[in-house]
Amino acid sequence: MKMEYKNNFRIKFILAVLICISGVLVFTKAKAQVNERGYFVQAEKLFAQKKYYEAIQYYEKYLSTEKDKSARSTPFAVQKKIKGKSNLSLHNEAVYHLAESYRLCNNYTKAEKLYREATNFSADAYPESRYWYAVTLRANKKYDEAQTTFESFRDSYKTMDGLLTGTDRELENLKFIKEQLSKPKESFFVSRLMNISNTSAYAMGGVAENKFVFTSINEPAAKAGQQSIYTAGLYLADLSGSSVENKEKLVMPGADQLHQGLATFNKRGDKMLFTQWTENNGIKNSAIYRSEKTDTGWSKPAKLGEPVNVPGFNSTEPFITSDGKYLLFSSDRPGGVGKYDIWYATLDSDLNPLLVNNTGNIINTAEDEMSPSYHLVSRTLLYSSNGFTGMGGFDIYSAKGDVQLSNWEKPQNAGSPINSSKDDLFYISTDEDNLWNTGIFSSDRDSDCCLDMFTVRQDNTQIISGMVTDCGTGQPIPGAALTLTDPKHGGKILNRMKTTEGGLYNFRLQNISRFDIKAEAEGYEPSAGSYTAYFDTGSYIMNNETICLKLIVNPNSDSSQDSGDSYAASASLAKFSYNKSTLGNGSFVQLDSLITYMLNNPSTVVEVGGYTDSKGSEAYNLKLAQKRVDACIRYLVGHGIDKTRLVGKAYGECCPLEPETIDGVDNPDARQRNRRVEYKVIK
């Protein structure tokens, strides 16, 4: 059996699942007169037709009815002459082909036991058995045994072909797996999406907010006198937390008996591209089709012409980028790097594909690349491949670059736990701002045959810091009330708090990319703003932009006079770089504002207090704080303020505005804020 049985599953889980669950042929009840040779002959016929699920039934029946299981050959075996099998054993042949059938139906658990038996057969007759036995061990997470078996196969196998290449790659995979599993902490949380009403569900694509379309295999109601036929179809559903709800079939005229999968939509959600395919005698023929939403439903699918679909070749798994400019897809068309490659086509405003290009040999390998998607904000291509070093089978990879320029960086394996020892495909990010924050993908890691959908949540924490000030004076507003909400979930309240004496706020988020803040304070007009956080795994400290509030003007008051109320509390006057006492350009606005106030209020006396961060000794920081105070007083005196109205005081590191470490993580923004000079009216 050649290695290409695995790699030639071009639409592997779009059709392998279909074949393994039902197939076109229903296993008929055996009649009493059928003997064991009849079961074997029928099994071999079905195996040759690549109808593996049906072949399994007959091989199992044959092996269960063997009269003498110790016999390793039969008188009629010589009717079948095969290289290395001159004295063919039907038992051996049945065991090996049954192992192959289970593997090609992705049931590695049962395949492992059969391959293990087959490794005791003649190596000349079944040279590949030890290789595939090692593959099933790796798929079943028996990594040490898999490594030993692969090494044994490599030492004994003498033919220079794809099996040796595959062995080298698998040994690299095992090394990579062990590195991934030795990581001290998982950076992602992976959960299976509950979808109990479906036989299999995979390849999810977004169509609207919290609305998704995915591929599912269901059995339609059979008409009287006819058998039911399983088909893969498209279903619309709501994504609610960890479950898929309110599922409904996407009905399109004339498509009842065809297989459909992996839909992608334009921004308005009224134009759809998807894969449609047929399967005959184990050969799959797939192409990309288009349908449009009308007042009466989705229109009859229309096959895209060239350059996307090329006669005699397969195009599958389309993805429209969020800006509507490009179509990504997988195809085995001529001109590629390997078997199935990732291709892209430019689109006009009506989603008509124009020129098609290959993404190149940085993205593609000699093996298969499938299920592309693109995250626009981070400029990252996501796809699956079985041609790189990884966890085994298809792994999910990312590569930064621009689609049009094809200037791709080296692909990065997403690693564990996103990737597993089985097949992982169809990753899409559900966060338009942060690539890995949340997402959905498909995997058969928890199944003996079929793909299921899984959600991904990154392990991250965002610490958001900021200040609320008076729009007119720039002075901090202490005690301002803040309400933090999540715009992606109907304005759900995330936190409530009040600013500190210095007008500062600080809050913690997890897996939140966008948030709204409403700020309120007595005597001020409320202010609301929307914000975006960009981050990576782990703790991230974000210095949010300053929120300013406008005073509510009393129409009966004389607004030309400064009341002095806003200057009564301590307020920032100047900021300083680490270990510096010279004034920066950013300090002059506050200093000039204070000068204007003091000239308009000639009886006012102001304290000027200097502070440092916690680095250095206490004595040193007191001296540094005094130098900063002196610099500010010199500027004020030089601009007309009598020195007797200014009281300087050095506080050093005594009074930080906020902690300089959070959960043991250094907070440089906090240190910057703590290096300051403040003033307050004392008379």
Give the mean pLDDT of the chain: 84
Torsional sign, CA 639, 643, 646, 649:
positive
The dihedrals phi and psi of 424, each to the nearest 5 degrees, come to: -135, 120
What torsion do the CA atoms of 385, 390, 396, 399 make, to the nearest 10 degrees? -80
647 vs 672: which has the higher pLDDT = 647
Q: What percent of the chain has pLDDT over 70?
A: 85
Residue 194 pLDDT > 70, yes or no? Answer: yes
Residue 81 pLDDT class (50, 70, 90 cuts): very low
User: Could you write out the three-class secondary structure of 238-278?
Assistant: EEECCEEEEEEECCCCCCCCCEEEEEEECCCCCEEEEEEEE
* Helix 90-104 with 36-48: angle, nearest 10 deg: 40
Q: Which helix (H) or strand (E) holds 639?
A: none
CB 598, CB 637: distance < 8 Å = no
Mean pLDDT calculated for residue range 477-490? 91
Amino acid at 513: S
Q: pLDDT grade, residue 29 (50/70/90)?
A: very low
What integer pLDDT is reported at residue 33 of this predicted model?
A: 36
Distance in angstroms between the alpha carbons of the first and the last residue of the chain:
94
Cα pseudo-dihedral 446, 451, 457, 459, rounded to 10: 40
Q: What is the pLDDT of residue 556?
A: 41
**What is the CATH T-level fold of the domain 34-181, as seen in this structure?**
1.25.40
Q: What's the pLDDT score for residue 682?
A: 85
Structure letter (DSSP) for residue 523: T
Q: Which fold has domain 565-683?
A: 60s Ribosomal Protein L30; Chain: A; (3.30.1330)
Q: Which one is predicted more confidently, 663 or 95?
A: 95
| Residues 219-259: tens digit of each pLDDT | 555 555 554 566 788 988 887 767 777 788 888 887 777 88
* pLDDT given at position 161: 86
Is pLDDT of 383 > 90? yes
Q: At a CB cut-off of 8 Å and minimum separation 6, what does 190 contact?
A: 417, 418, 454, 455, 456
Closest to 566 (Cα-Cα) out of 590, 584, 588, 586: 590
CATH number of 188-220+229-458: 2.120.10.30
Asked if the model's pLDDT at residue 360 lies above 90, the reply is: yes
Q: Which phi and psi angles does 457 have, rounded to 5°?
A: -130, 125
Is it the case that residue 99 has pLDDT exceeding 90?
yes
Dig out the tokens for 349 from the structure. Answer: 């405003």
Q: What's the pTM value of the predicted model, to 2 decimals?
A: 0.72
Asked if 136 and 95 touch (Cβ cutoff 8 Å), the reply is: no
Q: Residue 388: what pLDDT?
A: 95
Contacts of 81 (CB under 8 A, 6+ apart): 88
With CA atoms as reference, report the closest residue to 477 among 414, 531, 516, 524: 524
Which amino acid is present at 325?
K
Could you tell me the sign of the dihedral formed by the alpha carbons of 83, 87, 89, 90, in that order? positive
**pLDDT value at position 582?**
87
**Is residue 567's pLDDT more than 60?**
no
Q: How confident is the model at residue 87 (pLDDT cuts 50, 70, 90)?
A: low
Do the domains spanning 188-220+229-458 and 459-561 agree at the CATH topology level?
A: no
Q: Is 589 exposed, middle or buried (0-12, 13-18, 19+ CB in 10 A)?
A: exposed
Where residue 84 falls among pLDDT bands split at 50, 70, 90? low
Spatial neighbors of 478 by CB under 8 A, at least 6 apart, are 499, 500, 501, 502, 503, 569
- The domain limits of the chain are 34-181, 188-220+229-458, 459-561, 565-683
The pLDDT of residue 27 is: 40
Coil, strand or helix: which one is 467? strand
pLDDT of 88 above 80: no
pLDDT of 175 strictly over 90: yes
Low-confidence winner among 116-120, 165-169, 183-187, 476-480 (lowest mean pLDDT)? 183-187
In this structure, of 364-373, 380-389, 515-524, the range with the lowest mean pLDDT score is: 515-524
pLDDT at 422 over 80: yes
Most distant CA pair in the chain, distance: 120
- Tell me, what amino acid is at 208? A
Architecture of domain 459-561: Sandwich (2.60)
Percentage of the chain exceeding pLDDT 90: 51
Question: CA-CA distance, 680 to 683, in Å (whole number)?
Answer: 9
Looking at residue 151, its pLDDT comes to 95
Q: H or E stretch including 40?
A: helix 36-48
Of 179-193, 450-464, 554-568, 581-595, the one with minimum mean pLDDT is 554-568
